[in-house]
Amino acid sequence: MTVSDFFPYLKPGKRAHLVGIGGVSMSPLAEVFKLRGLTVQGSDITDSEVVQGLRSDGISVFIGHRPENVAGADFVVRTAAVHDDNPEIRAAREAGIPVFERTQAWGAIMKDYACGVCVAGTHGKTTTTSMLTHILMEAGKDPTVMIGGTLPLIGSGYRVGRGDTILLESCEYYDSFLNFSPTVAVILNVDNDHLDYFGTLENIKKSFRAFAELTPEKEGWVISCADDRNTEDTLAGIARQRLRYGFAPDADMRPMNLTEGRISEFDAVFRGETWAHISLRIGGRHNILNALAACAAAKALGLDPKAVEKGLGAFRGAGRRAEFKGKCGEADVYDDYAHHPSEFRALMDAVSKMGYQRIVVAFQPHTYSRLKNLFEDFVQVLSIPDKLYLADVYAAREKDVFGVSSADLAARIPGAVYCRSFGELCDALRAELRAGDMLLTVGAGDIYKVGEMLLDRQA
The Cα–Cα gap between 199 and 181 comes to 26
Report the sign of the C-alpha dihedral through residues 369, 370, 372, 373, in that order: positive
Q: What's the start-to-end Cα distance of the chain, in Å?
A: 51
The Cα–Cα gap between 306 and 301 comes to 14
Active-site residue identified among 88, 101, 138, 169: 169
Residue 18 CB partners (closer than 8 Å, separation 6+): 26, 29, 30, 40, 41, 42, 43, 76, 77, 78
Whether 125 is a known active-site residue: answer yes
The Cα–Cα gap between 40 and 85 comes to 23
Whether 169 is a known active-site residue: answer yes
Q: Return the bridge partners of 185, or none.
A: 118, 222
Contact yes or no for 328/450 (Cβ under 8 A): no
Tell which residue, 15, 322, 286, has the closest CA to residue 149.
322
Residue 78 CB partners (closer than 8 Å, separation 6+): 18, 19, 20, 86, 89, 99, 100, 101, 102
Active-site residue identified among 39, 103, 122, 126: 126
Interstrand relation of 184-187 and 221-225 (parallel, antiparallel or unpaired): parallel
DSSP 67: G
Whether 126 is a known active-site residue: answer yes
3-class secondary-structure state, position 151 = strand
Active-site residue identified among 39, 101, 125, 387: 125
Active site residues per annotation: 125-126, 169
